[in-house]
Amino acid sequence: MSEITKIQLGQNGPMVSKLGLGCMRMSSIWGGPTPDEKESIATIHQALDNGINFLNTGDFYGAGHNEMLIGKAIKGRRDDAFISVKFGAIFHNGQWIGLDLRPVAIKNFVNYSLTRLGIETIDLYQPSRMDGSVPIEDIIGTIAGLVEEGKVRHIGVSEINADQLRKASSVYPISALEIGYSLADRQIEAELLPTAKEFGIGIVAFANTAEGLLTGDLKAPIAADDHRNHFSRFQGDNLIHNLEKVEVLKEMARIKNVTPTQLAIAWVKEQGDHIMPLVSMSRRSRLPENIAAMDIVFSSEEMNLLNSTFAIGAIKGGTYLQR
């Protein structure tokens, strides 16, 4: 496997790998069994060995399990890893029940995260969402205080809109915006991406395969017990329409001798030097394919075909990433 290149995350921001490792699915979030811990740790090690230093977690992923897992994995090799942590989401019995973004709560959350991770400083710390219950200025101001205290190095934000991003940036330089972005979900191109660019903010782009839609493996109808049934994108005629679009991706993948997933990830990385695809991988077998995606290049004809096939609005129905 080739070594991953590094990019700068935000103006004057940290150097991180161009491909990020999403660790969320190494823990049980919505209830259910915990995935194979040994394999998860081996995946983190193999990612680090290949120069993927960006590890993404949230204190609510498996109610702290994910941070403890990462803590175990980076023991003895802290300097190889860049740790990105989200906070604020509150779960109970595997159900999302809201956000807690109060300054007093943030000051508490960070100590728990540092202990679970077994580190002195979190590299990138960010609220997982904003909900209006606490002014953005207070949230970012509180994290800025943690930077002063040495508990946090850089400040990020996640799943927010352009106005919120402007407000956050007025308080403290924001290094990264974590946001869902894929060929199937391009709405952020209208306002949010230009705003991030204006402020020199790096993009950590997740859900590159749009909940599996772009892997080329889906068939209509999907199984009754598949959680994606809740989303209109995966229902009835919408799914049939959407899978017709995916045929274009499949055909291009066939011609280029790669997989549709690799193309979906490569399209995201091609959107700018400041954009990092953040991909969930909880088994080592995913790494070679996804690392190889970072070497894919597109001709202008190929890029035009993808951009027109997957123009904004071309994919019908939504997912949990509604904007």
Ligand X SMILES: NC(=O)c1ccc[n+]([C@@H]2O[C@H](COP(=O)([O-])OP(=O)(O)OC[C@H]3O[C@@H](n4cnc5c(N)ncnc54)[C@H](OP(=O)(O)O)[C@@H]3O)[C@@H](O)[C@H]2O)c1
Residues that bind ligand X (CB under 6 A): 22-25, 56, 128, 158-159, 178, 206-209, 215, 261, 278-283, 286, 289-290
**Cα gap 316→242, rounded to integer Å:** 7
Nearer to ligand X, 17 or 56 (CB): 56
Minimum CB–partner distance for residue 207 and ligand X (Å): 4
Active site residue 61: yes
Nearest to 110 by CA among 124, 93, 96: 124
Tokens of 26: 């190494």
Extract the tokens encoding 203.
């993009």
- 3-state DSSP call for residue 221? coil
Residue with smaller CB distance to ligand X, 124 or 152: 124
Place of tokens 């004057």: 12
Partners of 238 in the beta sheet? none
Task: At 27, give phi and psi (nearest 5°).
Answer: -130, 165
The residue at minimum Cβ distance from ligand X is 22
Write the DSSP string, 242-289.
HHHHHHHHHHHHHHHTS-HHHHHHHHHHTT-TTEEEEEE--STTHHHH
Closer residue to ligand X, CB minimum distance, 169 or 290: 290
Active site residue: 61, 112, 181, 320, which one?
Answer: 61
Sole residue written with tokens 């394999």 = 39
The total of other beta-carbon atoms located within 10 Å of residue 229's CB is: 14
| Residue number, 24 or 301, with CB nearest to ligand X | 24
| 68: region left, alpha or beta (phi > 0 left; psi from -120 to 50 alpha) | alpha
Least separation in angstroms between residue 273's CB and ligand X is 20
Q: How far is the CB of 50 from ligand X (least distance, A)?
A: 14
Which residue's CB is nearer to ligand X, number 84 or number 142? Answer: 84
Enumerate residues 6+ apart whose C-beta is below 8 A from 134.
Answer: 101, 102, 103
Name which of 61 and 169 has its Cβ closer to ligand X: 61
On whether the CB atoms of residues 276 and 203 are closer than 8 A, the answer is: yes
Active-site positions read: 61
